[in-house]
Amino acid sequence: MKLVQTIILKKQPRIIGSYTIVGPKEGNGNFGPYFDYVMKDDCFGEETYEKAERKMLESAVTGVIEKAKLSVKDIDIMIAGDLLNQIVSSSYAARAFQFPFLGVYGACSTMAESVAVGSVLIDGGYFDNVVCCTGSHFSTAERQYRFPLELGNQRPPTSQWTVTGAGSCILSLKGEGPRVTMVTFGKVIDWGINDVNNMGAAMAPAVRDTMLRHFKNTKTSPNDYDLIVTGDLGKLGSEILIDLMEDEGITLGVNYCDCGQMYFKRDQKTLCGASGAGCCATVFNSYLMAKMREGQYKKILFLPTGALLSATSTQQGDTIPSVCHAIVIEM
């Protein structure tokens, strides 16, 4: 069935396995007990943070293949992306495997983007097993997008903490697990925010746009979902989203939450909460998948959002465009 800009998947690919790996700070956060592997330190035995990030993604792919009781030769393609320039973490991670690689970029929306593209590849009958993966690393993101850690820069109250972690899942028609039933691809939205330490405000309008189109296209409302989860708007961004949706006559109530807002404990000093491609990737592939399999949630609207800036665009005075891809997962 075809709707304007929303895809209704006919065969409804299943998420037959998921895996998460995080840093120690993330392991001490609210979702700690749900992660598959908590690293002892952020370097993961590597010489640089960039190489640690790459190794996390590689581990997430190896981990999910094992957890789904498949072997590398069962995988038809890996779809992945990350925040580093030229998505090198994903590309270098893919180098370790003997299956094709499709690189995608949606900043922190990458988990939904990869699952969306992967679902289409399965649903259309093109492939059997697709691995989707993304992640981020606090230390690589800080030095690439903002300032060197050594500078000890003060963080403004609107800032968020990039998650050190990677999440992966395998989509297939064979096996058990939550089904991907709908996809709404996001438009690039830019309401003029240019503060790289206020990503929540930059991204909230993109969620608004995708959410409104998704509800309209699918003739659903917030009450049709057990849970509506945004990616990493954080504390401020999710408040802005609630306001923006209220202006449109839509109330986001107790079934609405944001991965960035929920991720860390209060005493972990992350100000507006968590962010990064690894934020919703690790929540989605641990806590959310577990709760769906347990039967607590039957239908989730998952809306990760990415801020599409670069250090160069910031230096050249550009505002921050954002994109939000939505997927619906049903048990």
Residues 6+ apart with CB under 8 A from 9: 119, 120, 123, 180, 181, 182, 183
Cα 269 from Cα 266, distance rounded (Å): 6
Q: Which residue is listed with tokens 């109530």? A: 253
Q: How far is the CB of 93 from a copy of itself (least distance, A)?
A: 9
Helix, strand, or coil (residue 56):
helix
Asked if 235 and 307 count as a contact pair (C-beta separation under 8 A), the reply is no
Q: How far is the CB of 322 from a copy of itself (least distance, A)?
A: 9
Q: Which is nearer to a copy of itself, 113 or 232 (CB)?
A: 113
Q: How far is the CB of 135 from a copy of itself (least distance, A)?
A: 15
Q: Which is nearer to a copy of itself, 84 or 241 (CB)?
A: 84
Q: How far is the CB of 251 from a copy of itself (least distance, A)?
A: 26
Q: How far is the CB of 120 from a copy of itself (least distance, A)?
A: 6
Cα 124 from Cα 109, distance rounded (Å): 23
Radius of gyration of the chain (CA): 18
Helix, strand, or coil (residue 78):
strand
Q: Which is nearer to a copy of itself, 91 or 158 (CB)?
A: 91
Cα 137 from Cα 155, distance rounded (Å): 17
Cα 324 from Cα 210, distance rounded (Å): 6
Torsion, Cα of 316, 317, 319, 323 (10° steps): 20
Q: How far is the CB of 260 from a copy of itself (least distance, A)?
A: 19
Cα 243 from Cα 235, distance rounded (Å): 13
Q: Which is nearer to a copy of itself, 223 or 316 (CB)?
A: 316
Q: Which is nearer to a copy of itself, 9 or 262 (CB)?
A: 9
Q: Which is nearer to a copy of itself, 34 or 191 (CB)?
A: 191
Q: How far is the CB of 105 from a copy of itself (least distance, A)?
A: 4
Q: Which is nearer to a copy of itself, 170 or 288 (CB)?
A: 170
Q: Which residues of the chain form contacts with a copy of itself (CB under 8 A)?
A: 2, 4-5, 7, 47-48, 50-51, 76-77, 81, 83-88, 91-92, 94-95, 97-107, 113, 117, 120-121, 123-128, 144, 184-190, 308-313, 316, 318, 321, 323
